[in-house]
């Protein structure tokens, strides 16, 4: 009877260990599902971080993300990742071709522009429209430069066919001023780190001081070279980031698939052991009920005990495999967390870069590209809700005279202080952007007539009260304003033209004035 009690006790212990093993397997399965959830979140973040680098790459990463959301087999992700890797390599291979095309385009247009005496009025507007279009990506900036060069070639052909010879000296000077201003705006929209960014900033300061016509072509060539250098560096950084992420993802997918297969195998073995243990327990139970004398049943009981010992040894082996699987899952989790941190850092870098792209480097208010985007956005809201939408153009009176007498550093300081002063007078829903060299555009949405008049008057008075002192001279800076409202069938170009007319009228009436045109 004592032996039977011992056997029952051993069976109870084995059942307890089996229950513990089942709980451990369940925990491992839950951890595996949590790992897959983290992988889904990583792919989602990756699709956001890499958006805009290449349309096909965006599509393939999006498909990879959809496969994860649809709970497909993890093994199917490996071919998807291989496709993403090939696309990333293709991007690196295509860059030299794009660079060669840009070099050829520039060489052809630079020779034409070198002999160009002036630009027709219509093409001036076309040039202005081209350069006022926002560029939010590096590839867009390259296309922007290509379009600029193409327009220069068109301009020369038109001048050659029409035989424009009216006052070539004045036309050349006007062209020089326009191209210098547009080149400044283009440099402002570029944002490169390192040596390329420092050189571009130096060129912009040089353009502000003024350059000779013979120097403009050399400067334009240098800008293009710096754009190519900066773009190449950005592409290399993006390529390296994608290669690292692809390699890590490939390894993770392989190890995750292996872990899933091992987990499934352990689960099957555990089920087989459970069935065998249940059979042995049933045999022992039946034997206890059938045999009255233990001696007659001892051989069979001995055999059953040996089988129980074999099951115990198999259970120990499964425990070792489960421990190795848990260690692998822990390693995969740490790798996924590391990849997630890398992706978040890269996303933050892109966000910071985007903010710098849309901010004017000098005044720290929004630049022309951001201004165009916001004006278009407010225009669409106005079409929908028909709320009052005010747009005002603020220009510094006699700014060129200040630059001539006190230098461009003084002019830069004035621009910074005036931009900061205007921003303080605005509400959070208002918008300020740098429209030109010494002009700022304000957008005041959903503001009553009394409020907008008070706000613009407060800006004008606050600027007039600013204390400026240069070279031991106290000077007063004032601004003129032209303002209007969206009405009837107005579009953003109509509003810009009308505010410019209003500003011209305010200047004609004298400094430090506001003029409304409806």
Per-residue pLDDT of the chain (518 residues; tens, 9 = 90+): 455 666 566 666 666 666 565 666 555 555 566 666 666 666 666 666 566 656 776 776 677 677 666 665 666 666 766 676 676 666 655 555 565 555 455 445 444 443 455 555 555 555 555 545 555 554 555 665 666 666 666 665 555 555 444 445 555 666 667 677 777 666 665 666 667 777 777 877 777 667 777 777 788 788 777 777 777 677 677 777 777 777 777 777 777 777 778 787 888 887 887 887 888 778 777 777 777 776 777 777 778 788 878 878 888 888 888 888 888 888 888 878 887 887 887 777 766 666 667 888 888 899 888 899 899 999 999 998 889 999 999 999 989 888 888 888 889 999 999 999 999 999 999 999 999 889 999 999 999 999 999 999 999 999 999 999 888 888 999 999 999 999 988 999 999 999 999 999 998 888 899 999 98
- DSSP code of residue 440: E
Could you give the CA distance from residue 510 to residue 101 in angstroms, rounded to a whole number? 51
In the prediction, which pLDDT does 165 show? 46
Q: State how far the alpha carbon of 483 is from the alpha carbons of 252, 425, 449, 516, in Å.
A: 59, 16, 12, 5
CA dihedral 439, 443, 444, 449 (to 10 degrees): 60
329 CB-near residues (< 8 Å, 6+ apart): 28, 31, 32, 35, 259
In the prediction, which pLDDT does 503 show? 93
Secondary structure element (H or E) that encloses residue 443, with its range: strand 439-445
In the prediction, which pLDDT does 109 show? 47
Kindly state the tokens that stand for 375.
């004006």
Please report where in the chains the tokens 């106005």 appear, as a residue: 382
How many helices (H) does the chain have, and how many strands (E)? Answer: 14, 7
Helix axes 138-162, 121-132, angle to 10 degrees: 180
In the prediction, which pLDDT does 394 show? 96
As a 3-state breakdown, the chain gives helix, strand, coil percent values, each rounded to 5, of: 75, 5, 15
Phi, psi of 474 (to 5 degrees): -85, 125
Question: Per this entry, what is the length of the chain?
Answer: 518
In the prediction, which pLDDT does 30 show? 52
Write the DSSP assignment of 191-223 as a string of letters.
---HHHHHHHHHHHHHHHH---HHHHHHHHHHH
* Domains in the chain, CATH or no CATH each: 95-228 (no CATH), 368-516 (3.30.70.270)
Could you give the CA distance from residue 245 to residue 53 in angstroms, rounded to a whole number? 15
């Amino acid at each position: 009877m004592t032996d039977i009690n011992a056997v029952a006790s051993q069976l109870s212990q084995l059942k307890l260990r089996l229950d513990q093993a089942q709980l451990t397997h369940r925990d491992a399965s839950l951890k595996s599902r949590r790992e897959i959830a983290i992988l889904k979140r990583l792919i989602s973040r990756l699709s956001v971080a890499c958006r805009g680098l290449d349309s096909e790459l965006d599509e393939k990463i999006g498909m990879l993300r959809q496969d994860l959301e649809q709970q497909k087999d993890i093994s199917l992700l490996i071919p998807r990742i291989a496709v993403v890797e090939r696309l990333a390599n293709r991007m690196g291979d295509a860059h030299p071709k794009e660079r060669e095309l840009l070099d050829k385009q520039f060489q052809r247009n630079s020779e034409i522009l070198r002999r160009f005496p002036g630009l027709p009025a219509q093409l001036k507007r076309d040039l202005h429209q081209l350069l006022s279009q926002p560029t939010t990506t590096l590839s867009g900036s390259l296309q922007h430069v290509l379009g600029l060069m193409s327009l220069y070639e068109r301009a020369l052909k038109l001048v050659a066919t029409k035989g424009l010879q009216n006052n070539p000296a004045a036309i050349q000077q006007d062209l020089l001023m326009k191209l210098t201003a547009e080149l400044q705006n283009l440099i402002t929209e570029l944002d490169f780190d390192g040596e390329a960014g420092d050189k571009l900033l130096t060129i912009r300061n040089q353009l502000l001081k003024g350059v000779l016509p013979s120097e403009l072509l050399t400067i334009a060539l240098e800008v293009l070279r710096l754009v190519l250098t900066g773009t190449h560096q950005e592409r290399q950084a993006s390529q390296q980031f994608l290669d690292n992420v692809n390699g890590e993802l490939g390894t993770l997918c392989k190890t995750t698939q292996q872990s899933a297969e091992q987990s499934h195998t352990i689960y099957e073995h555990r089920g087989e052991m459970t069935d065998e243990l249940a059979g042995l327990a049933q045999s022992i139970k039946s034997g206890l009920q059938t045999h009255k004398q233990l001696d007659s049943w001892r051989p069979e009981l001995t055999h059953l005990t040996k089988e129980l010992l074999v099951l115990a040894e198999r259970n120990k082996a499964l425990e070792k495999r489960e421990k190795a699987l848990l260690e692998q899952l822990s390693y995969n989790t740490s790798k996924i967390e590391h990849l997630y941190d890398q992706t978040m850092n890269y996303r933050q870098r892109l966000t910071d870069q985007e903010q710098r792209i849309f901010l004017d480097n000098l005044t720290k208010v929004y630049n022309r590209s951001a201004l165009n985007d916001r004006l278009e956005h407010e225009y669409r809201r106005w079409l929908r809700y028909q709320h009052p939408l005010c747009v005002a153009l603020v220009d510094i009176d006699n700014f060129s005279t200040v630059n001539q007498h006190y230098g461009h550093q003084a002019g830069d300081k004035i621009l910074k202080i005036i931009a900061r002063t205007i921003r303080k007078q605005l509400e959070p829903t208002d918008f300020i952007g740098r429209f030109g060299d010494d002009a700022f555009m304000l957008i005041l949405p959903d503001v009553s007539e009394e409020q907008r008049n008070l706000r613009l008057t407060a800006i004008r008075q606050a600027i007039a009260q600013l204390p400026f002192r240069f070279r031991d001279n106290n000077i007063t800076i004032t601004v003129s304003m032209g303002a209007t409202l969206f009405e009837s069938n107005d579009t953003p170009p109509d509003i810009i033209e009308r505010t410019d007319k209003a500003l011209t009228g305010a200047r004609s009436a004298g400094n430090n004035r506001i003029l409304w045109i409806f």
